[in-house]
Amino acid sequence: MKLAVIGVGYVGLVTGTCFAELGNDVICVDIDKDKINKLNKGIIPIFEPGLKELVDKNVKENRLKFANNNKEAIEHGDVIFICVGTPPKHDGETDLKYVESAAMEIAETMDSYKIIVHKSTVPVETGERVKELIQKNIKQGIEFDVVSNPEFLREGSAISDTMGPDRIVIGTDSKKAAEIMKKLYNPIKSPLIVTDIRSAELIKHASNAFLATKISFMNAVSRICELADADVEKVAEGMGYDKRIGRDFLNAGIGYGGFCFPKDVQAFIKIAEKYNYDYKLLKATHQINEDQKIFFVEKVKNAVKDLNGKNIGVLGLAFKPNTDDMRFAPSEDIIPKLQKEGAKIKAYDPEAMERAKSTLKIDYCNNPYEAAKDADCLLILTEWNEFKEMDLKKIKSTMKVPLIIDGRNIYNLEEMKKLGFEYLSIGRK
């Protein structure tokens, strides 16, 4: 099948590459000429395990192309995926200007039947807005259909999530479009849900909001555990055996980050407001997440006493492991707060340091041992496997004070005690 993907960000690049791998003829376009030039040179603008190899393979086999010319892609694709950015406005509402711009360009270019699929996370009724824009600007007599097909990929496991998702959601009021989309997804043996467009749009926001709520719930429980001298990991284990709850997303820490959860929680609150519903639960979810980062900074201040002039090593900057994504990363809140107290920060992250340099003015290290050298305290902000496998005896020998404050609970309490560390984590005893 001939496909076009408009927007070669995280979702667009992974989506286009995976569809090419399934045997489709895909053209990906983006207004960022530098990004397209790099892709045509084999340079991948994001870090995602396995993505470069898959891009290189499908480019070589002529199933995947990158271009700046939207017109070429629109004319090529029988199905056109809109995967452009949907950034938050200052009030948390979703900015749809890139989606609307893509819809306008599709309308002005297409000269035959197309299926226009919005894959970006968008507020309910966006499909109707896209349809309306195209209808107003399309040549008379040309038919088209609009589909909502939200993505559920996770950074760090995006390829496997795309090739074998928990579910595929297709929202459309067209039987013709539904059948074509079913055919497109036929090689992927995952549960497929066909529904109306509004329900499909809400599925994505509701899913992310629920997962964010689960994280904030456990972070609130971790606070109670510390006050009550209980262990949050034991609590989570006991909860997780309940099939109605499950063990996933019950890990306490410094809060969620990334582009999806923070943005989508705020966007869902604004969607609710549009329909005159005060979504108090989600407001609390957001506030607990913000409070958790402040709580962690207070934990550091209490442990170090006076941060002024102290050397603080930081391990992990990205919002999660296996990605270089710094968007809404907890480190971007925590580190400036420590610097405000006079702390000197040096940090190491396996993949995210180049991206971090644009926002965090700190010393960057070549490895975790450099970050730990002469440190009065070492902070764990991202749970990279590299940090779990470090030589902790070597880490201790390089530190000025053997104090580790772990925002991701990656080490065993007893082992850290045996090694002679003062080790503080989240909600554990």
Q: Mean pLDDT, to the nearest integer, of 216-244?
A: 97
Q: What is the predicted pLDDT for the residue at 429?
A: 86
- 429 part of a folded domain: no
Tokens of 318: 């990205």
- 199 part of a folded domain: no
Element (H, E) at 136: helix 126-137
Q: Are 333 and 344 in contact (CB under 8 A)?
A: no
Q: What is the predicted pLDDT for the residue at 139?
A: 86
- 114 part of a folded domain: yes
Q: Are residues 309 and 368 in the same domain?
A: yes
* Domain boundary, last residue among 194, 219, 248: 194
Sign of the dihedral defined by the CA atoms of residues 302, 304, 310, 315, in that order: negative
The CATH number assigned to the domain holding 226 equals 3.40.50.720
How far apart, in whole angstroms, are the C-alpha atoms of residue 300 and residue 308?
12
Q: Are residues 81 and 171 in the same domain?
A: yes
Burial of 348 (0-12, 13-18, 19+ CB in 10 A): buried
Q: Are residues 256 and 109 in the same domain?
A: no
How far apart, in whole angstroms, are the C-alpha atoms of residue 16 and residue 7?
10
- 124 part of a folded domain: yes
How far apart, in whole angstroms, are the C-alpha atoms of residue 220 and residue 416?
25
Q: Are residues 230 and 281 in the same domain?
A: yes
Sign of the dihedral defined by the CA atoms of residues 179, 144, 105, 264, in that order: negative
Tokens of 154: 């996770």
Q: Which domain holds residue 110?
A: 2-194
CB atoms within 10 A of CB 301: 15
Number of alpha carbons in the 13 Å side-chain half-sphere of residue 280:
0
Name the CA dihedral angle for 76, 36, 13, 271, rounded to a multiple of 10 degrees. -90
How far apart, in whole angstroms, are the C-alpha atoms of residue 5 and residue 29?
6
Q: What is the separation of C-alpha 367 from the centre of its chain, rounded to a whole number of angstroms?
A: 25
Q: Are residues 187 and 260 in the same domain?
A: no
Which residue in 28, 83, 225, 260 is the catalytic one?
260
Name the percent of the chain lying above pLDDT 90. Answer: 96
Q: Are residues 360 and 230 in the same domain?
A: yes
Beta sheet of 363-364, edge-to-edge order: 363-364, 344-348, 311-315, 377-380, 403-406, 422-424
Q: How many domains does the chain have?
A: 2
Q: Are residues 81 and 137 in the same domain?
A: yes
Q: What is the separation of C-alpha 65 from the centre of its chain, rounded to a whole number of angstroms?
A: 25
> 379-409, pLDDT tens digit by residue?
999 999 999 999 999 999 999 999 999 999 9
Cβ-proximal residues to 280 (8 Å cutoff; 6+ apart), any chain: none
Element (H, E) at 169: strand 168-171
Q: Which regions of 58-110 does DSSP assign to beta strands (E)?
A: 64-67, 79-82
How far apart, in whole angstroms, are the C-alpha atoms of residue 289 and residue 328?
11
Cβ-proximal residues to 210 (8 Å cutoff; 6+ apart), any chain: none
- 116 part of a folded domain: yes
Q: Mean pLDDT, to the nearest integer, of 168-181?
A: 97
- 102 part of a folded domain: yes
How far apart, in whole angstroms, are the C-alpha atoms of residue 88 and residue 376?
38
- 281 part of a folded domain: yes
Q: Are residues 173 and 279 in the same domain?
A: no
Q: Are residues 186 and 246 in the same domain?
A: no
Residue 377 appears among annotated catalytic residues: no
Q: Is residue 307 pLDDT above 90, yes or no?
A: yes
CB atoms within 10 A of CB 71: 14
Q: Are residues 240 and 155 in the same domain?
A: no
Q: What is the predicted pLDDT for the residue at 259?
A: 86
> 273-298, pLDDT tens digit by residue?
999 999 999 999 999 999 999 999 99
Of 129, 57, 51, the residue nearest 96 (C-alpha): 129
- 402 part of a folded domain: yes
- pTM of the predicted model as reported, rounded to 2 decimal places: 0.92
Q: Are residues 174 and 241 in the same domain?
A: no
Q: Are residues 115 and 245 in the same domain?
A: no
Q: Is residue 140 pLDDT above 90, yes or no?
A: no
> 245-271, pLDDT tens digit by residue?
999 999 999 999 998 899 999 999 999
Please, what is the average pLDDT of the chain? 96
